Structure 1
Amino acid sequence: MDIPMRELTDDDLALIEFAREIVDANTDGEFGVHTMGAAVREADGRMFGGINIYHFLGGPCAELVALGNARASGGREFTTIVAVGNCERGTVGPCGRDRQILFDYHPRIRVLLPTEQGIRSVAVTNLMPLAARWDAAEGTQPYDPSDFTIHNGQIS
């Protein structure tokens, strides 16, 4: 399946740079606790950052820390998110847990991640084909094709 992708905008490049600055300023080395930085953009243009807290029990990923920071700072409508690895590893796509959380809580968000064509912007729904949304009040919901917009046989 071809996944619809967008070229990066200047705002996307600024978000990547913001995440890179966070991880560069706070990393504690290749095998340290803080090895990923993330940034999320609010619809009004504000950027919020976070850094992971690695733990063998599965500490929070940088994307989740960035989302929590944004929410605590008044952010509510997020448009784009990105994670960047330390030691010049560059942009990294979200793990499965993060994808599901983004899909459940921010289904219109775009994710910046590496692809065969370079770093691109992808709708989180395109990262979750046939996913079932989770709801805090009612738990996992049945697959609902209306969660996805289909154009020419492709989710967008």
Structure 2
Amino acid sequence: MASSGSLTGPRLEVDTVAFVDTTLHALTDADQELIQAARAVIDANTDTAHVDGAGVHTMGAAVRDSEGWIYVGVNLAHFTGGPCAELVALGTARANGARQIRAIVAVGNHGRGVIGPCGRDRQILFDYHTGIRVLLPTAQGVRATTIEALMPHAAAWTIDSGTQDLDPSRFDR
């Protein structure tokens, strides 16, 4: 039987009721300051395009520790999966004595604005920075949420014990 290019069979019924995510929060002045720090570091350090049309340093990130200090970093794009800007900023914070990171944001170069963390970064934040405030773009503009809200069914990993079973108490915030 030849295909006519159209799909036949039961129609997919879609629930059109809008989902309102109550875990999203408006930005604070401190959040805006963090965004500006990430934007400043990538604006100062972005590079010109190379072979594939993209630069090596295309994202900036900023983190805030529990004492209010801000640390920044830029990514290092590489075919092997070089470090994301968020991980570089976290490493910079640690190297400078920060032990409790409270907020994080990444910003793209050339005016691309705030960009949410990739899956690898989300898992690292979930594993090592419980309750961290993550700034990311949403349909309502840039908003803040916790890493637990971004990873509602995640299992944590620890250096001592490897992958851990889901701990529902982490999500009761």
Bigger CA drift: 89-98 or 26-35? Answer: 26-35
Q: Distance in 1 between matches of 2:31 and 2:48?
A: 26
Unaligned runs of 5+ in 2: 1-18
- Residue 3 of structure 1 and its aligned partner are, at CA, apart by 4.8
Q: Deviations over 1:96-118 (max 9, x none)?
A: 00000000000110100000110
Q: Distance in 2 between matches of 1:34 and 1:3?
A: 34
Aligned to 2:131: 108
Partner SS state of residue 13, structure 1:
helix
* Alignment partner of 1:22 out of 28, 41, 44: 41
Letter in 2 for 1:117: Q
Contact kept in structure 2, 1:40 and 1:78, CA below 8 Å: yes
Q: Distance in 2 between matches of 1:43 and 1:118?
A: 26
Q: Distance in 1 between matches of 2:121 and 2:68?
A: 22
TM-score scaled by length of structure 2: 0.84
Contact kept in structure 2, 1:3 and 1:126, CA below 8 Å: no
- Residue 77 of structure 1 and its aligned partner are, at CA, apart by 0.9
Q: Distance in 2 between matches of 1:29 and 1:17?
A: 22
Q: Distance in 1 between matches of 2:165 and 2:67?
A: 33
Partner SS state of residue 94, structure 2:
helix
- Residue 29 of structure 1 and its aligned partner are, at CA, apart by 3.5
Give the paired residue count.
150
Q: Would you say 1:96 and 2:119 are equivalent positions?
A: yes
| Larger CA Rg, structure 1 vs 2 | 2
Contact kept in structure 2, 1:82 and 1:91, CA below 8 Å: yes
Aligned to 1:117: 140
* Alignment partner of 1:39 out of 46, 59, 62: 62
Contact kept in structure 2, 1:29 and 1:86, CA below 8 Å: no
Q: Distance in 2 between matches of 1:29 and 1:119?
A: 27
Structure with the larger RCO, 1 or 2 (CA within 8 Å, 6+ apart)? 1
Aligned to 1:71: 94
TM-score scaled by length of structure 1: 0.93
Q: Deviations over 1:55-97 (max 9, x none)?
A: 0110000000000000000001111100000000000000000
Runs of 4+ in 1 over 6 A off after TM superposition: none
Q: Would you say 1:5 and 2:28 are equivalent positions?
A: no
Partner SS state of residue 57, structure 1:
coil
* Larger relative strand fraction: 1
